[in-house]
Structure 1
């Protein structure tokens, strides 16, 4: 039972007024309320889709009466004769006054000093607790590691599908990362790779990347990860004008080869309507800012220089060696990754990679929160 919540009809607007204590008070539109009715006569109990069109509701719909029930819920009657029970706890979540239990954990900005590598053993993800712990770390930190996975070529296909459907690109369903005589990308050399996000030239940019180590016995080649959220927060603090321009000016990213031309333009830093970071694009070999006033471009180039330097500053990086069976899962819209140089003549370093979209792990999280064990990702999205 939810204590201290009142819901009364609002005769002036035709809706209702919900209040909690003396601080929280909100007017609720009658159609807003009616669309949240979860009655089997109006909403399919299996797929939870409405069995009616919202436009079929009367335009002059009003709340006729509200009665408080003994269990803390409310019975609401509408002017068209329909009545339904409304759960107070769910209304508080819908109003934004309580956390949604299905909402994924909030991101936690980290640096080298505060960062930790969230990891679990492969066997653990067959349990609800193990998968829950892994996803906790992933959503909070923007990356996670699974150790001891099967690591034959192609094993990544089944591993990634534990979390969502694989998104195929011109690189293939799975792509191999190792030194090649004719490299179509710098990843296929032994050169060091600066911190970057993958495929910033795509629309939409791939949401989540997996890198799976099949073999590694070379000298060097440490993998690096950087928290884009921490970078953006730092620039906001020390250079707010630069931070604003990085969010305003569109930047064109283009990948151009004999078989593929992919291009998109977007600011390096993207936020949602509430000001939360939703995307960071950084790939220093592929970006071209669009024309703008010289003063803004001065700020942009200064901000981009600062962003790139911070992204490759050891204070913001975590590094670790790839070992056979290690699977790195990272949010490609938040986490930057790179590597130190390695000597390709000293052995062989072979990774396989692929991409999935964000909705897979989010769906998996919600079903785990609702059902406890769910399908553990075998039908994640």
Structure 2
């Protein structure tokens, strides 16, 4: 009720201001500072009404004007830069209580009510930290300078906020990797430690946590530190051991070739945890490859092979019984690209690549030649990093980016290699990263 009443009062004051201008016949006359709005019909470039609170110079506004023909509002910042904001985008993103539910940080204003060709009746600079827009239907929108600066449409600003939202760009590596090692206890107890872990994981694709109790269940604790784990047909956690009548090739002591996990799912898990509980006395070393780095090599060395692997859809399958019975089918390109042509995800597991292959017969031979080239590159000694996990280690890695494998090991009743594994989705991990960053930046 109060928000509705306030809205009517504000509209009333605006209308009185306009009436005063019309009666006086002096369009450029400024209103007293006590008036909450300073509208000048068709007079778009204005000065600040009052002195703002202190803020960074880059987010202080010098003046503002409306470009009616182009349908942009142009902001001149005190640091000398300029930003353009389309009328329609500003109207769509009005932050008033009637258009935006601040408790949920969600838009209430509907596209059905949006005039995509809207004009602007007036725009003023309330102070160096806020602009106010009067729309043709008399609706008023106010926008803070910091909010606008963060959403600038320049190429540089867009790249900056994308890095902030999705973490720094990948740092590629080969066999020369210096695997990042962090303290498990620090990750659990310190927000700074947890944030460093996730950002390092996003940048390098792999982080080893040390000092973990060598007992089952620690992955559940680690998963809760982020949010929640991914339930799959193998459960929330699963035991990687040499098993009789294994329902997965990982549950043997044989060599595991380089692969990504679970391409048989339409949406493969983004992050994988492996906790070493017992290590074999002989063999069992882990191998990892930066798949994005290898994709870049393939694109440079054999563009046609890269094109084939990024365009041909391959069938994957997984059938069996574990957490429950399952019969999975999916279709993915081996190299999956995003809308900008950058590598988004690698989908490759030779064990679950189906014998069903839904392509014209003449495409089969070229596909195999391209896949052979890709696998040869990923197995090149300059690309493979080998390490040996010890009880008390958890390796966390990007399942979309890294290919991982394992060397053969000797298994017997006395000493058998035992890892516990789990998955998380990148949505959950990146959500925690943003939440941690925001909480650490918030005033104490």
* TM-score after normalising by structure 2: 0.77
Contact 1:206 1:332 (8 Å CA) reproduced: yes
After superposition, the C-alpha distances for 1:297-340 in whole angstroms (9 at most, x for unaligned) are 44322221121122222211222111112111111111111111
CA positional deviation for 1:90: 3.9
1:306 equivalent to 2:373? Answer: yes
1:168 equivalent to 2:168? Answer: no
Find the aligned partners of 1:107 and 1:213 in 2 and give their Cα distance.
26
Find the aligned partners of 1:201 and 1:278 in 2 and give their Cα distance.
17
Q: 2:398 aligns with which of 323, 331, 338?
A: 331
* Structure 2: gaps (5+ residues): 1-56
* Structure 1: gaps (5+ residues): 375-381
Q: 1:74 aligns with which of 114, 128, 131?
A: 131
After superposition, the C-alpha distances for 1:223-274 in whole angstroms (9 at most, x for unaligned) are 1111111011000110011111111111001113363210101111111112
Q: Note closer, same or farther for the CA distance 1:70–1:52 as it changes in structure 2 (3 Å cut).
A: closer
Find the aligned partners of 1:315 and 1:69 in 2 and give their Cα distance.
60
Contact 1:241 1:299 (8 Å CA) reproduced: no
Find the aligned partners of 2:392 and 2:97 in 1 and give their Cα distance.
48
Q: 1:273 aligns with which of 311, 335, 339?
A: 339
Q: 2:326 aligns with which of 260, 271, 284?
A: 260
Find the aligned partners of 2:146 and 2:360 in 1 and give their Cα distance.
49
CA positional deviation for 1:65: 2.5
Contact 1:102 1:370 (8 Å CA) reproduced: no
Match of 2:88 in 1: 31
Structure 1 stretch 265-274 or stretch 345-354: which is displaced more?
Answer: 345-354
Q: Note closer, same or farther for the CA distance 1:211–1:58 as it changes in structure 2 (3 Å cut).
A: same
Match of 1:365 in 2: 433
After superposition, the C-alpha distances for 1:102-130 in whole angstroms (9 at most, x for unaligned) are 441111221113x2212211121121221
1:348 aligned counterpart, secondary structure: coil
Contact 2:99 2:109 (8 Å CA) reproduced: yes
Contact 1:5 1:88 (8 Å CA) reproduced: no
Match of 2:181 in 1: 119
Find the aligned partners of 1:17 and 1:70 in 2 and give their Cα distance.
15
1:147 equivalent to 2:210? Answer: yes
Match of 2:262 in 1: 199
Higher RCO, 1 vs 2 (CA within 8 Å, ≥6 residues apart): 1
Find the aligned partners of 2:308 and 2:63 in 1 and give their Cα distance.
45
Match of 1:355 in 2: 423
* TM-score after normalising by structure 1: 0.88
Q: 1:134 aligns with which of 174, 197, 201?
A: 197
Find the aligned partners of 1:27 and 1:329 in 2 and give their Cα distance.
42
Q: How many residues align?
A: 371
Find the aligned partners of 2:192 and 2:288 in 1 and give their Cα distance.
25
1:157 equivalent to 2:220? Answer: yes
Contact 1:7 1:17 (8 Å CA) reproduced: yes
Structure number with higher helix proportion: 2
Q: Note closer, same or farther for the CA distance 1:6–1:290 as it changes in structure 2 (3 Å cut).
A: farther
CA positional deviation for 1:172: 1.4
Q: Note closer, same or farther for the CA distance 1:84–1:117 as it changes in structure 2 (3 Å cut).
A: same
Match of 1:379 in 2: none
Q: Note closer, same or farther for the CA distance 1:242–1:8 as it changes in structure 2 (3 Å cut).
A: farther
1:97 equivalent to 2:156? Answer: yes
Q: Note closer, same or farther for the CA distance 1:272–1:194 as it changes in structure 2 (3 Å cut).
A: same
CA positional deviation for 1:166: 1.5
Larger gyration radius, structure 1 or structure 2: 2
Match of 1:342 in 2: 409
Find the aligned partners of 1:233 and 1:355 in 2 and give their Cα distance.
26
2:246 aligned counterpart, secondary structure: coil
Contact 2:229 2:424 (8 Å CA) reproduced: yes
Find the aligned partners of 1:71 and 1:117 in 2 and give their Cα distance.
47
